[in-house]
Amino acid sequence: MDRHPVELLIEKADTAINREDFDTLMAIYAEDAVLVVKPGLEARGRDQIRKAFVAIADHFGHSLAVEQAGLVVLEAGDTALVLARTVVSATTLPPTVRNATYVFRRDPGAGWLCAIDNSYGHDLMIQDEG
Amino acid sequence: MDRHPVELLIEKADTAINREDFDTLMAIYAEDAVLVVKPGLEARGRDQIRKAFVAIADHFGHSLAVEQAGLVVLEAGDTALVLARTVVSATTLPPTVRNATYVFRRDPGAGWLCAIDNSYGHDLMIQDEG
Protein backbone atom coordinates (compact mmCIF):
# COMPACT_ATOMS: atom_id res chain seq x y z
CA MET A 1 0.00 0.00 0.00
CA ASP A 2 1.27 3.49 -0.81
CA ARG A 3 2.32 5.45 2.19
CA HIS A 4 0.38 8.59 3.01
CA PRO A 5 2.31 11.81 2.15
CA VAL A 6 1.98 12.82 5.80
CA GLU A 7 3.79 9.63 6.82
CA LEU A 8 6.72 10.57 4.57
CA LEU A 9 6.77 14.08 6.10
CA ILE A 10 6.96 12.64 9.62
CA GLU A 11 9.86 10.43 8.55
CA LYS A 12 11.56 13.52 7.07
CA ALA A 13 10.93 15.46 10.29
CA ASP A 14 12.39 12.66 12.44
CA THR A 15 15.53 12.54 10.29
CA ALA A 16 15.81 16.33 10.48
CA ILE A 17 15.47 16.29 14.29
CA ASN A 18 18.08 13.55 14.60
CA ARG A 19 20.49 15.52 12.36
CA GLU A 20 19.59 18.87 13.96
CA ASP A 21 18.73 20.12 10.47
CA PHE A 22 16.32 22.80 11.67
CA ASP A 23 15.81 24.46 8.25
CA THR A 24 14.41 21.24 6.81
CA LEU A 25 12.43 20.68 10.00
CA MET A 26 10.81 24.12 10.02
CA ALA A 27 9.64 23.76 6.40
CA ILE A 28 7.34 20.96 7.60
CA TYR A 29 5.47 23.21 10.06
CA ALA A 30 2.67 25.66 9.23
CA GLU A 31 3.46 29.30 10.00
CA ASP A 32 0.92 29.25 12.87
CA ALA A 33 1.72 25.74 14.13
CA VAL A 34 1.78 24.80 17.80
CA LEU A 35 4.28 22.40 19.39
CA VAL A 36 3.76 20.94 22.85
CA VAL A 37 7.29 21.23 24.27
CA LYS A 38 6.14 19.48 27.44
CA PRO A 39 2.77 19.32 29.19
CA GLY A 40 1.90 22.92 30.11
CA LEU A 41 4.46 24.51 27.76
CA GLU A 42 3.63 25.30 24.13
CA ALA A 43 5.70 26.90 21.36
CA ARG A 44 3.65 28.87 18.79
CA GLY A 45 4.80 29.79 15.28
CA ARG A 46 7.96 28.73 13.43
CA ASP A 47 10.30 31.04 15.36
CA GLN A 48 9.29 29.73 18.78
CA ILE A 49 9.22 26.15 17.53
CA ARG A 50 12.75 26.40 16.09
CA LYS A 51 14.02 27.86 19.38
CA ALA A 52 12.32 25.04 21.28
CA PHE A 53 14.00 22.37 19.10
CA VAL A 54 17.39 24.05 19.52
CA ALA A 55 16.89 24.07 23.30
CA ILE A 56 15.70 20.44 23.33
CA ALA A 57 18.75 19.34 21.27
CA ASP A 58 20.99 21.15 23.72
CA HIS A 59 19.15 19.73 26.75
CA PHE A 60 19.84 16.18 25.53
CA GLY A 61 23.51 16.89 24.75
CA HIS A 62 22.87 16.57 20.99
CA SER A 63 22.02 12.87 21.38
CA LEU A 64 18.23 13.01 20.89
CA ALA A 65 16.84 10.35 18.57
CA VAL A 66 13.19 10.18 17.45
CA GLU A 67 11.47 7.44 15.46
CA GLN A 68 7.96 6.07 14.95
CA ALA A 69 7.17 2.53 16.06
CA GLY A 70 3.72 2.68 14.46
CA LEU A 71 1.46 5.20 12.82
CA VAL A 72 -2.14 5.59 11.61
CA VAL A 73 -3.37 8.50 9.43
CA LEU A 74 -7.04 9.55 9.41
CA GLU A 75 -7.73 12.00 6.58
CA ALA A 76 -10.79 14.23 6.08
CA GLY A 77 -10.42 16.59 3.14
CA ASP A 78 -7.54 18.96 3.86
CA THR A 79 -7.09 17.79 7.45
CA ALA A 80 -5.22 14.71 8.68
CA LEU A 81 -4.95 13.32 12.19
CA VAL A 82 -1.97 11.10 12.96
CA LEU A 83 -1.93 8.69 15.87
CA ALA A 84 1.61 7.48 16.42
CA ARG A 85 3.77 5.53 18.77
CA THR A 86 6.73 7.87 18.94
CA VAL A 87 9.94 6.56 20.48
CA VAL A 88 12.33 9.15 21.88
CA SER A 89 15.74 8.35 23.32
CA ALA A 90 18.99 10.07 24.25
CA THR A 91 22.14 9.25 26.20
CA THR A 92 20.30 10.41 29.34
CA LEU A 93 16.89 9.01 28.34
CA PRO A 94 16.14 5.30 27.81
CA PRO A 95 13.84 4.66 24.82
CA THR A 96 10.43 6.05 25.81
CA VAL A 97 7.26 5.38 23.85
CA ARG A 98 4.70 8.18 23.61
CA ASN A 99 1.17 7.90 22.18
CA ALA A 100 1.60 11.00 20.05
CA THR A 101 -1.08 12.99 18.18
CA TYR A 102 -0.22 15.17 15.20
CA VAL A 103 -2.54 17.23 12.98
CA PHE A 104 -1.57 18.15 9.42
CA ARG A 105 -3.33 20.61 7.12
CA ARG A 106 -3.10 20.64 3.34
CA ASP A 107 -2.22 24.10 2.06
CA PRO A 108 -3.15 24.84 -1.59
CA GLY A 109 0.41 26.01 -2.28
CA ALA A 110 2.70 24.30 0.22
CA GLY A 111 0.93 20.95 0.47
CA TRP A 112 0.67 19.11 3.82
CA LEU A 113 2.08 21.01 6.80
CA CYS A 114 2.11 20.14 10.49
CA ALA A 115 -0.32 22.39 12.39
CA ILE A 116 -0.33 20.69 15.80
CA ASP A 117 2.55 18.61 17.18
CA ASN A 118 1.65 16.94 20.47
CA SER A 119 3.97 14.03 21.12
CA TYR A 120 2.50 13.69 24.63
CA GLY A 121 -0.99 12.73 23.43
CA HIS A 122 -3.39 12.30 26.36
CA ASP A 123 -0.58 12.72 28.91
CA LEU A 124 -1.43 16.43 28.57
CA MET A 125 -4.61 15.75 30.50
CA ILE A 126 -2.77 14.50 33.57
CA GLN A 127 -1.15 17.91 33.82
CA ASP A 128 -4.43 19.65 33.07
CA GLU A 129 -6.30 17.69 35.72
CA GLY A 130 -3.55 18.27 38.31
CA MET B 1 -11.66 30.77 32.19
CA ASP B 2 -13.87 31.02 29.12
CA ARG B 3 -14.58 27.69 27.55
CA HIS B 4 -13.34 27.12 24.02
CA PRO B 5 -16.14 27.22 21.39
CA VAL B 6 -15.16 23.69 20.40
CA GLU B 7 -15.82 22.52 23.96
CA LEU B 8 -19.36 23.91 23.77
CA LEU B 9 -19.87 22.13 20.42
CA ILE B 10 -18.80 18.82 21.92
CA GLU B 11 -21.25 19.32 24.78
CA LYS B 12 -23.97 20.09 22.20
CA ALA B 13 -23.02 16.96 20.23
CA ASP B 14 -23.15 14.76 23.34
CA THR B 15 -26.61 16.09 24.22
CA ALA B 16 -27.77 15.53 20.63
CA ILE B 17 -26.44 11.93 20.66
CA ASN B 18 -28.15 11.22 23.98
CA ARG B 19 -31.45 12.64 22.65
CA GLU B 20 -31.01 11.04 19.21
CA ASP B 21 -31.41 14.50 17.71
CA PHE B 22 -29.50 13.70 14.52
CA ASP B 23 -30.29 16.99 12.72
CA THR B 24 -28.58 19.00 15.45
CA LEU B 25 -25.77 16.45 15.56
CA MET B 26 -25.08 16.53 11.80
CA ALA B 27 -24.83 20.35 11.79
CA ILE B 28 -21.69 19.97 13.95
CA TYR B 29 -19.86 17.86 11.32
CA ALA B 30 -18.05 19.12 8.23
CA GLU B 31 -19.46 17.89 4.92
CA ASP B 32 -16.34 15.73 4.37
CA ALA B 33 -15.93 14.62 8.01
CA VAL B 34 -14.82 11.14 8.99
CA LEU B 35 -16.17 9.20 11.98
CA VAL B 36 -14.44 6.11 13.34
CA VAL B 37 -17.45 3.86 13.99
CA LYS B 38 -15.14 1.22 15.44
CA PRO B 39 -11.48 0.36 14.76
CA GLY B 40 -11.31 -0.60 11.08
CA LEU B 41 -14.70 0.91 10.16
CA GLU B 42 -15.06 4.54 9.11
CA ALA B 43 -18.08 6.59 8.03
CA ARG B 44 -17.31 9.39 5.56
CA GLY B 45 -19.48 12.43 4.91
CA ARG B 46 -22.67 13.52 6.70
CA ASP B 47 -24.93 10.90 5.09
CA GLN B 48 -22.78 7.96 6.17
CA ILE B 49 -22.16 9.49 9.60
CA ARG B 50 -25.90 9.99 10.22
CA LYS B 51 -26.60 6.39 9.20
CA ALA B 52 -23.83 5.21 11.53
CA PHE B 53 -25.32 7.13 14.49
CA VAL B 54 -28.79 5.77 13.75
CA ALA B 55 -27.35 2.23 13.68
CA ILE B 56 -25.36 2.78 16.89
CA ALA B 57 -28.47 4.13 18.70
CA ASP B 58 -30.39 1.07 17.57
CA HIS B 59 -27.54 -1.30 18.52
CA PHE B 60 -27.64 0.00 22.10
CA GLY B 61 -31.45 -0.20 22.34
CA HIS B 62 -31.73 3.62 22.42
CA SER B 63 -29.94 3.78 25.78
CA LEU B 64 -26.55 5.16 24.65
CA ALA B 65 -25.19 7.97 26.83
CA VAL B 66 -22.03 9.94 26.04
CA GLU B 67 -20.25 12.50 28.20
CA GLN B 68 -16.78 13.97 28.62
CA ALA B 69 -14.90 13.37 31.88
CA GLY B 70 -12.11 15.74 30.81
CA LEU B 71 -11.02 17.66 27.76
CA VAL B 72 -8.05 19.67 26.44
CA VAL B 73 -8.18 21.83 23.28
CA LEU B 74 -5.00 22.66 21.32
CA GLU B 75 -5.68 25.34 18.72
CA ALA B 76 -3.47 26.39 15.79
CA GLY B 77 -5.15 28.95 13.54
CA ASP B 78 -8.23 27.35 12.00
CA THR B 79 -7.46 23.86 13.31
CA ALA B 80 -8.15 22.49 16.78
CA LEU B 81 -7.16 19.13 18.28
CA VAL B 82 -9.21 17.86 21.18
CA LEU B 83 -7.92 15.24 23.59
CA ALA B 84 -10.80 13.96 25.67
CA ARG B 85 -11.75 11.32 28.18
CA THR B 86 -15.03 10.25 26.65
CA VAL B 87 -17.33 8.09 28.76
CA VAL B 88 -19.84 5.95 26.89
CA SER B 89 -22.46 3.80 28.56
CA ALA B 90 -25.68 1.96 27.75
CA THR B 91 -27.93 -0.63 29.38
CA THR B 92 -25.69 -3.29 27.87
CA LEU B 93 -22.41 -1.39 28.32
CA PRO B 94 -20.95 -0.40 31.70
CA PRO B 95 -19.40 3.11 31.68
CA THR B 96 -16.31 2.86 29.48
CA VAL B 97 -13.67 5.58 29.29
CA ARG B 98 -12.02 6.21 25.92
CA ASN B 99 -9.02 8.46 25.27
CA ALA B 100 -10.71 10.15 22.33
CA THR B 101 -9.17 12.43 19.69
CA TYR B 102 -11.26 14.93 17.75
CA VAL B 103 -10.17 17.46 15.13
CA PHE B 104 -12.21 20.60 14.40
CA ARG B 105 -11.74 23.03 11.52
CA ARG B 106 -12.93 26.63 11.48
CA ASP B 107 -14.92 27.35 8.34
CA PRO B 108 -15.16 31.04 7.31
CA GLY B 109 -18.96 30.77 7.08
CA ALA B 110 -20.04 27.95 9.37
CA GLY B 111 -17.50 28.41 12.18
CA TRP B 112 -15.97 25.39 13.93
CA LEU B 113 -16.99 22.01 12.52
CA CYS B 114 -15.85 18.51 13.45
CA ALA B 115 -13.64 17.08 10.69
CA ILE B 116 -12.36 13.93 12.39
CA ASP B 117 -14.20 12.06 15.16
CA ASN B 118 -12.10 9.26 16.61
CA SER B 119 -13.40 8.31 20.04
CA TYR B 120 -11.04 5.29 20.05
CA GLY B 121 -7.84 7.38 20.06
CA HIS B 122 -4.75 5.16 19.92
CA ASP B 123 -6.81 1.98 20.27
CA LEU B 124 -7.01 2.20 16.46
CA MET B 125 -3.39 1.17 16.33
CA ILE B 126 -4.03 -2.13 18.07
CA GLN B 127 -6.31 -3.05 15.19
CA ASP B 128 -3.85 -1.66 12.66
CA GLU B 129 -0.96 -3.62 14.11
CA GLY B 130 -3.02 -6.85 14.30
ipTM for the whole complex: 0.94
Q: Is A83 in contact with B125 (Cβ distance < 8 A)? A: yes
Tens-place pLDDT, residues B78-127: 999 999 999 999 999 999 999 999 999 999 999 999 999 999 999 988 75
Name the domain count of chain A. 1
Report yes or no on B130 lying in a domain. Answer: no
Checking phi first, is residue B107 left (phi over 0); if not, alpha (psi -120 to 50) or beta? beta
Q: What percent of chain B has pLDDT over 70?
A: 96
- In whole angstroms, give the CA distance from residue A29 to residue A27: 6
What's the predicted TM-score (pTM) here? 0.94
Q: Is B125 in contact with A77 (Cβ distance < 8 A)? A: no
Contact criterion met (CB below 8 Å) for B81 and B73 = yes
Q: Which residues of B touch A30 (CB under 8 A)?
A: 76-77
- Domain with residue B18: its CATH number is 3.10.450.50
B114 touches chain A (CB under 8 A): no
Candidates B42, B101, B105; nearest CB to A101: B101
Candidates A42, A72, A121; nearest CB to B128: A72
Report yes or no on A22 lying in a domain. Answer: yes
- In whole angstroms, give the CA distance from residue B123 to residue B39: 7
Report yes or no on A56 lying in a domain. Answer: yes
Among candidates A11, A6, A15, which has minimal Cα distance to A103? A6
Report yes or no on B61 lying in a domain. Answer: yes
